Amino acid sequence: MKIIIDTPEKIAEAAAKRYVELLSEKPDAVLGYATGSTPLDLYAELARLNRAGEITFKDVTTFNLDEYVGLDGTHDQSYRYFMDKNLFEKIDVDMAKTHVPSGMDVDKAAEYDKAIEAAGGIDLQLLGIGNNGHIGFNEPGTPFGSVTHVVELTKSTREANKRFFSSIDEVPTHAVTMGIKTVMNARKIIFIALGSAKAPIVREMIKSDVTPEVPASVLLLHPDVEVYLDFEAAALL
Ligand code: GLP
């Protein structure tokens, strides 16, 4: 695990460079994307580089980590909508090759791993972290062998995400998420955590034992992870 500590702006630039490098070597790479506030600067930087002609996404295939159960892609809090607005509509990606798990057709969850495999596996997976250590929506206790599945969201996750909804009652109770094994199968992982609220869980992830109780701690077992932290998120290391 390589740890890089810098400002949010420099982190977005450095992480974007990894995409430039990967796509110049492998223009048809398979990219795993994440949602949340954390990747927004990176997505803006990728869109800027795309406009400037320094990177093209025209041959990539993408797979997002997760989606809320019960929200279809037109709902403004769905992760499909988030990706379309914050990245896909701003870059030259082929929309037909972008995948977000379906929040409506959850019986198809197991097919998501098969689709990833059929595309050749994920070359670069982007990850953020929830305040309780979740990656994707793999809440504490999720087995490390899990593949894409439906989860019940914890109260703390629904509380953390209620800021995007009119009230906590509007926050879906379930989500569909790539499993821990799905994430760990990615050939390379870029992990980003920003802000002081993430400092305690970042410390736990890096300093505690590898345990399903801190899902992100599994990343210590991955051979190629770059962990980008801003100074606030790194403050307790
Ligand atoms: C959600 C997503 C995670 C994300 C987390 C953190 O719960 N399922 O993939 O990492 O939020 O979000 P933020 O970046 O807004 O802190």
Q: What is the pLDDT of residues 153-186, one digit of tens each?
A: 999 999 999 998 999 999 999 999 999 999 999 9
For residue 208, what is the domain's CATH number?
3.40.50.1360
The model scores a pTM over 0.95: yes
Cβ-based neighbours of 125, under 8 Å, separated by 6 or more: 31, 32, 65, 183, 186, 188, 189, 190
**Structural domain boundaries enclosing 67:** 2-229
* Cα 137 to ligand 1 centre (Å): 8
Q: What is the pLDDT of residues 62-73, one digit of tens each?
A: 999 999 999 999
Residue 59 maps to a domain: yes
Residue 236 maps to a domain: no
- From the list 45, 35, 54, the residue with the least C-alpha distance to 10 is 45
Ligand 1 atom closest to the CA of 195, numbered from 1: 16
Residue 237 maps to a domain: no
Residue 79 maps to a domain: yes
* Cα 69 to ligand 1 centre (Å): 16
Give the total number of structural domains in the chain: 1
Site to substitute for ligand 1 among 37, 38, 189, most atoms within 8 A of C-beta = 38
